[in-house]
Structure 1
Amino acid sequence: MRIVKAAEHHIQEIAKVHVDSWKETYNTIVNAEAIQKKTYRKREELWQRIIQENQSITYAAKTNDGKIVGFINGGKERTGTYDYDAEIYAVYILQAYQGQKIGKKLIHTITGKLYEQGHRSIMVWVIENNPSKYFYEKLDGKSIDRKYLDYLGVYEVAYGWNDMKVLFKKD
């Protein structure tokens, strides 16, 4: 498994992982309409914009045969509301590849890069009923907020780390 900086030629695969992992993970958690709105075409357009604008960092997890099976995206904390400089905006890994430390490798990579850019603290939002929230708790993320997302019909919780070094130095 290799972690690579995402580029334009990865967009189609990243969009596929985004949609497929949404369906795998959230099928029984969020409302059906939200799931149906996540299409490959719309996600490709989104990732095209994200990668071209270059306002955030995206890394992809590639298998030894070159297939993208997960990705992470993050950058500056978006709202200015929280006492954290950086934020992980998205982490998605295909269900068949979960439990193989890919998430940890993606977190290590992006937090190391964000630290190099001068960020010292980080947060992430995760849907409360998503089992992956335990991943962040295992990484000693502190629960810092909770909000209701009307468009999904679920609560989202935020986890934060005052010192992001623990995330890229942890094994």
Structure 2
Amino acid sequence: MQIRPAREGDAQGIAYVHTESWKTTYRGILPDDFLDHLTTESRLSQWEKTIRSGEKDQILVVAEQIDGNIVGFACGGKEREGKLPYDGELYAIYLLKEVQQRGIGQQLARYVVRKLHSLNMRSLMIWALERNPACRFYEKMGGTPVQTQQIQIGGQELVEVAYGWEDITFFGAKNLGSS
């Protein structure tokens, strides 16, 4: 497994992981009809644009298997909303279901956090749906719930939780060691 920055040509794999992970992670949380209509094609232009933008304050990394298949990705950058006192934000982290629970998510998240730290970001947050099983992952990585908000996805009202790290130097140190 290789964790590396996304590059031209990765958008298809990232869009596939994005779509498929939503379908498995959010089944039972979001309406089935909404999930059933998600397609790789609908996410493709978003990821092509993100890769092409080459923004200095953002990072997009992929988890690539030896055969070249992308099985996960993470992205982050400056905190987007300005409502909470955090410099950086982990915008997304997604893995295909079949590769979860293997430490790949930790590797992806740590890669993004190291890059954000190198850009002088000292604190971090991520928004997650309250019923998302990944909330346990964020807590294991040392995140503390700091705020909730209502959002609407697929015509359904949901609660989103912000997890925060006041000092990203300690990201993941809670239960995993600080390496």
TM-score scaled by length of structure 1? 0.94
Whether contact under 8 Å (1:112, 1:168) holds in the other structure is no
Residue aligning to 1:79: 81
Q: State the Cα distance separating 1:150 from its structure 2 match.
A: 1.9
Correspondence 1:58-137 to 2 at 5 A: 58-137=60-139
Alpha-carbon separation, structure 2, partners of 1:54 and 1:39: 25
Unpaired runs of 5+ residues, structure 1, are none
Runs of 4 or more, structure 1, over 6 Å off, are none
Q: What's the Cα RMSD here?
A: 1.4
**More displaced, 42-51 or 90-99?**
42-51
Q: State the Cα distance separating 1:151 from its structure 2 match.
A: 2.6
Unpaired runs of 5+ residues, structure 2, are none
Task: Letter of the 2:30 partner, please give it.
Answer: V
Alpha-carbon separation, structure 2, partners of 1:74 and 1:34: 26
Whether contact under 8 Å (2:30, 2:153) holds in the other structure is no
TM-score scaled by length of structure 2? 0.90
Whether contact under 8 Å (2:79, 2:87) holds in the other structure is yes
Alpha-carbon separation, structure 1, partners of 2:33 and 2:121: 36
Identity across matched positions, percent: 38
Whether contact under 8 Å (2:73, 2:108) holds in the other structure is yes
Secondary structure of the structure 2 residue equivalent to 1:99: coil
Which of 149, 154, 161 is the aligned partner of 1:147?
149
Task: Letter of the 1:48 partner, please give it.
Answer: E
The alignment covers a number of residue pairs equal to 171
Cα gap change, 1:37 to 1:77, in 2 (>3 Å): farther
Cα gap change, 1:54 to 1:37, in 2 (>3 Å): farther
Alpha-carbon separation, structure 2, partners of 1:35 and 1:107: 25
Secondary structure of the structure 2 residue equivalent to 1:38: coil
Q: State the Cα distance separating 1:124 from its structure 2 match.
A: 0.4
Task: Letter of the 1:17 partner, please give it.
Answer: V
Secondary structure of the structure 1 residue equivalent to 2:9: helix
Alpha-carbon separation, structure 2, partners of 1:100 and 1:137: 17
Residue aligning to 1:19: 19
Q: State the Cα distance separating 1:139 from its structure 2 match.
A: 1.2
Residue aligning to 1:163: 167
Q: State the Cα distance separating 1:144 from its structure 2 match.
A: 0.7
Whether contact under 8 Å (1:111, 1:168) holds in the other structure is no
Q: Deviations over 1:90-115 (max 9, x none)?
A: 10000100000001001110100110
